[in-house]
Amino acid sequence: MTLLLGNDDIRRVLTPRMTRKALETAYRDLALGEAVCRPRIDIRIPTDTPGRSYQWGTMEGGSTAGYFAIRMKSDVVYEQEYNGVRTQEKFASRPGLYCGLILLTDINTGVPLALINDGCLQHLRVAADSAIGTDIMARTGPLVLGMLGSGGMARAHVEALLQVRDLRRIRVYSPTPENRRRYAAEIAQAHGVEVEAVDDPREVYRGADVLAACTDSAVPVIRGEWLEPGMHVISVGGRPDEAARGRFDRTLRLGTSPAPVGRPELGTADEYLGYLARPEDPGWDGQRVGKRAPAVTGEGRDVMFADIVAGRAQGRTSQGQITYSERGNIQGAQFYAVASAAYEEARRRGIGREIPTEWFLQDIRD
């Protein structure tokens, strides 16, 4: 039987610690050649509504440990101005609904093991990435967290970061006052941490040891002029501006997707690859349709996760460095790793709905 797992099921079986451990294993396997993935690929098509496009995004990967997964997203995407901030919005069917699925398969039999809603798992895996980077790059001891954003991703980040650092205070800013105040109250109650909602984003930076941008901003939100010595920076939406990139003393990249066999010229460090219908349409101008991962300096300031775990390099080398961590373009590896961990725990605990595997199979060869 194939398991159908919704977001409520994932909340019951998957923890921040499980997620981080699954990703760390996947990154080691990638470095050893035991796992493989490709960059995220998006296809965009203009819709009948001006300013909106259809976006189909996929990322996939698997390993010799026995699992393969593809994550698929179907969205209508557009940008809008909101409280003086330009944001990227998306929906499937109607605003407030989304379509994201993970198909997990068994590499030894080829059969589908699970079909999983990606929402909760997505928040956990991105936050776990940030926790891995913070654990390697941030200063130790009790820390102050500066948070830009107050949505689900910002909530998941607190849970994940608490696994690797003692957060003694959090300052949060988002454009909507009631949202940032609600976030502050809920996080304080849930985790017993002092949380302050501030009215000026500049205040989030003051005295912060870790700065996390967890926003849906379509433009950079990490301001280089406000960064302070010793700070570690995380970006999940709302990219660093050029000044910030110039101030990063040390950048950790968790991995890079390998090039296709025999075609090294097709290898890329790009975060994702975008393909467009009507590519000359002026409506694409200024939109993110294919972007290099934001902080690869190429100037000797980068360090790879594989080199860290092999002892060939170290992360932060002084207390005053401004550091940054990024995933790279290995989302495909993330989804097989985290989805398989969730699947195994769901099977063990009898959670999820079973559907006949034969529904996915056929007797006609392609």
Over the stretch 280-292, which tens digit does the pLDDT of each residue have?
888 777 665 555 5
Place of tokens 């290898």: 267
Class of the domain covering 2-121+332-360: alpha beta
CA separation, residue 10 to residues 4, 19, 124, 355 (Å): 11, 11, 10, 17
Per CATH, 2-121+332-360 and 139-257+293-329 having the same topology is answered: no
**Helix axis angle, 331-349 relative to 16-32, nearest 10°?**
130
Mean pLDDT of all residues in 111-117: 98
CA separation, residue 345 to residues 32, 82, 283, 342, 348 (Å): 26, 40, 45, 5, 5
Rounded Cα–Cα distance for residues 313 and 59 (Å): 29
State residue 86's pLDDT score: 77
Query: 3-class SS at 76?
Result: strand
State residue 87's pLDDT score: 78
pLDDT band at 294 (very low <50, low <70, confident <90, very high): very low
Mean pLDDT of all residues in 103-127: 97
Of all residues in the chain, what percent are helix, strand and coil, respectively (each to 5)? 30, 35, 35
State residue 139's pLDDT score: 94
Strand order in the sheet with 323-328: 194-197, 167-173, 143-148, 210-214, 232-236, 323-328, 250-255, 302-304
Counting residues of the chain whose pLDDT is more than 70, the rounded percentage is: 95
* Tokens representing residue 138 in the block: 């941030």
Mean pLDDT of all residues in 87-97: 90
Start-to-end C-alpha separation, the chain: 23
State residue 346's pLDDT score: 98
Residue 357 has pLDDT above 70, yes or no: yes
Over the stretch 22-31, which tens digit does the pLDDT of each residue have?
999 999 999 9
Report the CATH number of the 139-257+293-329 domain: 3.40.50.720
Residue 82 has pLDDT above 90, yes or no: no
Rounded Cα–Cα distance for residues 85 and 88 (Å): 10
State residue 163's pLDDT score: 95
pLDDT higher for 353 or 295?
353
The radius of gyration computed from the CA coordinates of the chain, to the nearest angstrom, equals: 20
**Domain boundaries of the chain, sorted by first residue:** 2-121+332-360, 139-257+293-329
Average pLDDT, the chain: 92
Over the stretch 130-178, which tens digit does the pLDDT of each residue have?
999 999 999 998 999 999 999 999 999 999 999 999 999 999 999 999 9
